[in-house]
Amino acid sequence: MNITTIRPLLRLAALAGLSLLPLVAHAHAQEDGDGFVAGLLHPVFGVDHLLAMISVGIVSAQLGGASIWRVPTAFVLAMVLGGAIGVMQIAMPYAEVGIALSVVLLGIAIVNVDHRTSPWLPLVFVLFFGVFHGHAHGVEMPRSASPAFYTFGFITSTSLLHVFGVVIGELSTRRERFVGLLRYSGAGMAGIGISFLLQSARAIAL
C-alpha cells in the first residue's frame, strides 16, 4: 500500500483527537474516563455502526485518489454534527431507519464503485447518513459521561475503523482475485442492512 494515500486519513484521526483537547481539559477525571471508553466502544459493539464505518473506508479506497481521505473526513464531520444533536437530546425521526439504510446503500456501493466512479454521490451520501450515526451515538451517551470525552471516544473509534476499511479496500483492489470476494461481501452487507431495515420498520409499526 502506498503510504501517501493513507497518511491523510491517519492525520485525520490524530487531528480529531487534538482538536478536542481544549474542550476536555476542564472535565471531571472519572467522568472523562467513563465517557471516553463508552464513546470508544459504542461504534464497535453496534453491528450496524461497525459495518457502516468499515464500509466507508472500503468505498473510499475503491474510489481512490483524494477520496481516500475526503470521504471518511466527510463522514466524521457529519457524525460530529449528529452527535451534538443527540447529546442535546433533540429527536431525529427515523434515525434507526437512516442507519439501517446506510448499511444497505454502502453494501451496494462496495459492489458497484471503482476508481472511475464520480466521488460526489458517495460524498453527499456519507454527509447525509453520517448525521444519523452521530445522533445515535449522542443520544446513547451515558448520563455520567463527559460529552467532550465521549465525543473524543467515538471519533477516535470511527476514524480507526475507517482506516481499517481503507486497508481492506486497498489490499482487495490491488489483487484481482480479491475484487470479486470484496463485491460479494458488499452484497452480503446489503442483505444484512435490509434485515436491519425491516427490524426498524417493524419497530416503528408497533
> The domain containing residue 181 runs over which residues?
28-205
- pLDDT, tens digit (0-9, with 9 covering 90-100), for 151-164: 888 899 999 999 99
- pLDDT, tens digit (0-9, with 9 covering 90-100), for 89-137: 899 988 999 999 999 999 999 999 999 999 999 999 999 999 999 999 8
174 found inside a domain: yes
| Cα-based distances in Å from 11 to 4, 66, 72, 147 | 11, 14, 12, 23
4 found inside a domain: no
Nearest to 174 by CA among 62, 7, 53: 62
40 found inside a domain: yes
Say yes or no to pLDDT of 28 above 70: no
- Would you say 103 and 196 are in contact if contact means Cβ atoms under 8 Å apart? yes
60 found inside a domain: yes
6 found inside a domain: no
Residues 56-85, mean pLDDT to the nearest whole number: 94
- In this prediction, residue 15 carries a pLDDT of 46
- In this prediction, residue 169 carries a pLDDT of 92
Residues 174-202, mean pLDDT to the nearest whole number: 90
Say yes or no to pLDDT of 26 above 60: no
Cell numbers for 198: 425491516
Q: What is the pTM of this model?
A: 0.82
Q: How many domains does the chain have?
A: 1
